[in-house]
Structure 1
Amino acid sequence: MWKPFCALGLLAGLVRAFDLDGYVANMTLEEKVGQVLVPDFRNWQNATASGATGFTVMNDEVAGIIKKFKFGGVILFAENVVETEQTTRLMADFQAASPNIPLILCIDQEGGIVRRLATGTNFPGNMGLGATRSTSMAQGVGKVIGEELGVLGININLAPVSDVNYNPANPVIGVRSFGSDQHLVADMAVAYKNGVQEAGVASCAKHFPGHGDTNTDSHTGLPLINHTVAQHQKDLYPFRQLIANNIDMIMTAHIQIPAFSNDTAPNIIDGTPTILPATLSRKILTSLLREQLGFKGVTITDALDMAAIQEFFGWQNATWMCLAAGADIALMPPRATSMSTVSNLENAFNTVLEAVNDGRINITELDQKVKRILNLKMTYKIWQPDTQVTPISLDKQIKKALNTVGNKEHRRFEAKVADAAVTLLRNNHQTLPFKVDKRSTVAAFTPFSYQLDAVNVSMSSMRSTKYVKLIGTYFYQQNFTSAMKTLVDQATHVIIGSYIVVQDAAVNGGVLDPSLNDASHWDSVTPFKIMEYARAQSKPTVIMSLRNPYDASSYLDAGNQSADALVVLYDYLGYKSGIMQGPMIPAGLRYIFGELKQANGKLPVDVYKLGTNNTQILFPFGYSAQ
């Protein structure tokens, strides 16, 4: 029977020896299949509703589905975790729906631009952490994130991203990576996962065997990395180190890697033989990961609803194919968003049953998968069979959660890490810090309105800028306008936010905006023209790089038109709904206005010169102009 929140050290009584082999041997086939499936209930449509909305409160329908299929767990999204008390109640209700074997409750709380908790502490994200070069900070970040998840009842963090991002055109990893050096990535990833585990939450490294050199997003296509085995060792290095340091779980990547496996299967588009991505490849998940690298923990797929899987191999087929390849958990099999679509889940469940019965999935291997999953649950005290525990009341747990998630201590540490991440790439003519007083007017131009709001809130709270006049606008999908020109004319100082990036739907609210893919469009042209005009007016001007630092070359490799000052912040999140969603814009402003005396961050990647096809380095790994 589930006892709530026992992962938080609330044991009472001695743990007796438990016969896991015997327990699994007595499970029904249906119970075993349930354990290897982890669906999402991101949205749900009640019988009387006109459409699906975020699932935030348990209902009898979803509880009944969990009880019927005896799932191993549920993955959570932002739609599920909108408030601290609400999240704590929902997690308890999820577990109440699985009375025999408690659920894995997992989430992508990476930090930075990929985070789900609306009230949690966000931190700068991995590339910002990489810029600090501090493994102690990385461990501290992992611990805080783990503490906040654990107190809510979430027991697995699908982090850290352990990909080595050495392709500037990578559309899906970018600032989610610690950097372009495999040793830095490994050191930071191990430290981060140590912190998560220290907080009593399991940690999952991703995306095996390495997603760092792709130029296709597996959410929208099927990436191929055509490296040699020797070249792939750079990608494998962090995973080797994580395995040596007892990582709990590893998530698979939906990418084709012919050097490791050129096995094919007919795609569902036209039947053409197509190289199996790692998620569906036995050579990669079993021969490489298990046998060669010696990983003994739990493997989980990336979401099976992504285009790399669904459009090429079929959502339902992939559910059994990934398990046959060696994955322990099929994440996000065909989903149900209402009672009328429960058949999607049922069909996927039955497909796995049939694959076991006809031998496509080996029954002995299925038992091994279930043992690994249950062992993980016991290790983190998610499930404690034959152990008496004294559960804390839900009301007390809610109170504890309210005192933990996003508390002042965590926010102070977040600000400390953010300050350490700020990276200065240029400061000509002592442009920074801005010298302002109550007669000054600062014009701020940001890609999106919430970033402008972050500038406003931050400047209002800083001593040096409390009485400085702020004007500005956001320039999303706008050309350089006469109104922008007027704002520059009125200003004594100018701040410009840059957001030049290959658009990725996975981390941008699920929306794929083609305009962000056009290098000649607003995202690059407009901020450059603002900078150009401000320079012509001799206005002290600084560029804030708000996401991938590769955009620095657009402003610093432009000859006489290059920017005088540029700081890299690795994070574009701003101020929304009364919450400062990311710490980096405030940290950048503290440096710009002199309240942060030094920018000690160092580039965690190489930044290349324009027009060289990433062959000539403008600013090398480790660079800082401080």
Structure 2
Amino acid sequence: MPLRRLLAPLGAGLLLLSAACGGGGEDGDRPEPRRPESSDPAEGAAELMADMSLEEKVGQLLVPVVQGTTAEENADLIEDHHPGGFIYFPDNLSDVEQITGLSNGLQDLATGSGAGVPLFLGVDQEQGMVSRLPVGTRFPDAMAVGATRDPEAAASLAGTTAEELTALGLNLDYAPVADVNVNPDNPVIGIRSFGSDPALVGEMMTAEARAFEEGGVVPVAKHFPGHGDTDVDSHTGLPTIDKPREEWERVDLPPFEQAVDADIDAIMTAHVFMPELDDSGEPSTLSENVITGILRGELGYDGVVSTDALNMEGVRQTHDDGEIAVRAVLAGADQLLMPPDVEAAHSAVTAAVEEGRISEERLEESVLRVLELKLERGLYDAEPADAAAASDVLGGEEHAAAARDVADASVTLLRNEGGVLPLEEGSAVRVIGSGSEEIGAALRDKGYALADSASAADTVVVGTDGARGDAEQKGLVADARASGTPVVVVAQGNPYDIAELPDLDGYLATYSSVDVSREAAARVLAGEVDPSGRLPVDIPGTDLEFGDGLSY
């Protein structure tokens, strides 16, 4: 037995004290991972794997949710199961000092125990509605980026996000979304997608992924083979996408082909059932035909394949949690994201290898991919995160300006009857609905009077967010129209609201409800910014199509 394994229990005990105190404050305090002799990532990965036990190899496939807010709370899990990474959620995070301490402490525990392999520390920081960090810069959603038509906007978002993640000690982002949103009723993708055009989605997705990689953060393009044409949320059920393969190849596949061509670090599977790709009834995450047959075989992808979260109901319909983990590995997945029972997943995969159900060769294919990517992205040479430096990075005006630029370029003017916009300087405006506080405050700061009623206003601005399926929001717009005062809607979610809001005087789409998008809407309303966004989707039930947009 190697000496490092004999000493592992003592090392773990010492590291618990370090993690409890914040973890790795001085560079010299950080345990050194066992570095390979070869500088070639593939050869180095083979060196590292040669000294790993079966349990340590299986552990590299596991990416559980981090427990609590301190590294110490995860010490037993790391010592027992040797996970390849963790994913953070808001409950784990509070401020810069806590997040950097958590990241440093987890890495210290991992590099000081077992095979000494650094962790992937990841988060869902797509930006917009899916943003888990309580600190840092908030950009608009992906559909807003698609509306800019500018891949530099996508690169700016990802580069800025990567710099902030790195400063906090994170090295992986479960983004960008490569799904083509062609279903207006999609309950889970929507504005998380760049749009309904495969070429636009592919261009923006690749620009983001490249910027993440250049910033030292692993991007994970998601969700293969496509989640943009569903009307069921895979968090709560298994969506079925019953379309001909030819249509799938034309609409959903192209962005993933671009991801493969660009050799993007990682691709995430979708918990969707597509009978034309695999008629077994299994979700794509558990389908060997989809992952090994199509993604690896037909498309030639050899990067890391991550499952979507294994605690979602879309993948838990017919098997227990241990069997789900085994079937995902057999299908071709390399990392098992968020197994609801880490012990069950680790034990089941280990037993499947020992019994020959999963061959050692199959297991080691995944381990090598994971280790090689960790070497390529510099995890073995990463310095501990510094809270003071991270605070400077996350609070920088340059990052705030980058988010404002993307938001300003995304706002799309779809209706402007009688030239109601821009608002007359100094006029009275009634602002109600979604985002009214932020939009109203911004307009007040620009010299507009905020009226208490529609009858006392020159214009009524109504904020909406998903009004198509919300009678209360539609009623708010109808009441404003009944006042006889010109009505302008600012749609901050899906742009499809306009299909059920007839006879409006003005309509702006921001594709996002983050503060920076609401402030951008106010700048457009006031005429400080000329709207330049263009529709990244078609609007069914109207004559509005992909590419439409007005300017002043």
The residue number in structure 2 matching 1:585 is 518
Offset, 1:119: 1.6
The residue number in structure 2 matching 1:66 is 78
Q: Tell me if 1:163 matches 2:179.
A: yes
The residue number in structure 2 matching 1:532 is 481
Matches within 5 A, 1:321-340: 321-334=327-340
Q: Deviations along 1:240-260, whole A, 9 cap, x unmatched?
A: 111111200000000001111
Distance 1:106 1:470, change over 3 A: farther
Is the contact made by 2:433 and 2:473 (CA closer than 8 Å) also made in structure 1? no
Q: TM-score, normalised by structure 1?
A: 0.79
Is the contact made by 1:553 and 1:618 (CA closer than 8 Å) also made in structure 2? no
Offset, 1:304: 0.7
Matches within 5 A, 1:222-261: 222-233=238-249, 234-261=251-278
Distance 1:328 1:262, change over 3 A: same
Is the contact made by 2:146 and 2:195 (CA closer than 8 Å) also made in structure 1? yes
The residue number in structure 1 matching 2:472 is 522
In 2, the alpha carbon distance for the partners of 1:532 and 1:406 equals 42
Name the structure with the higher helix share.
2
Offset, 1:3: 8.5
SS of residue in 2 equivalent to 1:589: helix
Is the contact made by 1:324 and 1:362 (CA closer than 8 Å) also made in structure 2? no
Q: Tell me if 1:373 matches 2:370.
A: yes
Is the contact made by 2:140 and 2:512 (CA closer than 8 Å) also made in structure 1? yes
* Counterpart amino acid of residue 359 in structure 2: N
Distance 1:326 1:621, change over 3 A: same
The residue number in structure 2 matching 1:463 is 446
SS of residue in 1 equivalent to 2:455: helix
Distance 1:172 1:521, change over 3 A: same
In 1, the alpha carbon distance for the partners of 2:70 and 2:46 equals 36
The residue number in structure 1 matching 2:347 is 350
Offset, 1:138: 1.0
Q: Tell me if 1:546 matches 2:546.
A: no
Q: Deviations along 1:59-109, whole A, 9 cap, x unmatched?
A: 3x3222222211100011122233222211111111112121111101111
Is the contact made by 2:37 and 2:44 (CA closer than 8 Å) also made in structure 1? no
Q: Deviations along 1:341-370, whole A, 9 cap, x unmatched?
A: xxx422222111112122222211100100
SS of residue in 2 equivalent to 1:299: strand
In 1, the alpha carbon distance for the partners of 2:366 and 2:25 equals 25
Alignment match of 1:493 (pick from 450, 459, 462) = 459
In 1, the alpha carbon distance for the partners of 2:100 and 2:44 equals 32
Q: Tell me if 1:400 matches 2:389.
A: yes
Offset, 1:298: 0.3
In 2, the alpha carbon distance for the partners of 1:114 and 1:230 equals 31
Matches within 5 A, 1:308-323: 308-323=314-329
* Counterpart amino acid of residue 545 in structure 1: A
SS of residue in 2 equivalent to 1:583: helix
* Counterpart amino acid of residue 543 in structure 2: L
* Counterpart amino acid of residue 64 in structure 1: D
Is the contact made by 2:173 and 2:219 (CA closer than 8 Å) also made in structure 1? yes
Matches within 5 A, 1:384-399: 384=381, 391=383, 397-399=386-388
Is the contact made by 1:162 and 1:210 (CA closer than 8 Å) also made in structure 2? yes
Distance 1:456 1:426, change over 3 A: closer
**RMSD of aligned Cα (Å):** 2.2
In 2, the alpha carbon distance for the partners of 1:302 and 1:420 equals 32
Distance 1:14 1:3, change over 3 A: farther
Offset, 1:315: 2.9
SS of residue in 2 equivalent to 1:205: strand
The residue number in structure 1 matching 2:207 is 191
Distance 1:5 1:291, change over 3 A: farther
Matches within 5 A, 1:91-240: 91-99=103-111, 100-233=116-249, 234-240=251-257
The residue number in structure 1 matching 2:97 is 85
* Counterpart amino acid of residue 82 in structure 2: K
SS of residue in 1 equivalent to 2:305: strand
Q: Tell me if 1:360 matches 2:357.
A: yes
The residue number in structure 1 matching 2:539 is 607
The residue number in structure 1 matching 2:19 is none
In 1, the alpha carbon distance for the partners of 2:334 and 2:423 equals 55
SS of residue in 2 equivalent to 1:618: coil
Distance 1:218 1:324, change over 3 A: same
The residue number in structure 2 matching 1:445 is 432
* Counterpart amino acid of residue 625 in structure 1: L
In 2, the alpha carbon distance for the partners of 1:306 and 1:161 equals 18
Offset, 1:374: 0.4
SS of residue in 2 equivalent to 1:318: helix
How many residues were matched structurally?
Answer: 515
Offset, 1:413: 1.1
* Counterpart amino acid of residue 94 in structure 2: V
Offset, 1:214: 0.7
Unaligned 5+ segments in structure 2 are 5-22, 28-34
Q: Deviations along 1:167-190, whole A, 9 cap, x unmatched?
A: 111111110000100000001111
The residue number in structure 2 matching 1:416 is 405
Amino-acid identity (%): 36
In 1, the alpha carbon distance for the partners of 2:356 and 2:321 equals 20
Alignment match of 1:454 (pick from 411, 419, 438) = 438
Offset, 1:400: 1.4
Offset, 1:520: 6.3
In 1, the alpha carbon distance for the partners of 2:154 and 2:25 equals 29
In 1, the alpha carbon distance for the partners of 2:44 and 2:136 equals 38
* Counterpart amino acid of residue 257 in structure 1: M
The residue number in structure 1 matching 2:15 is none
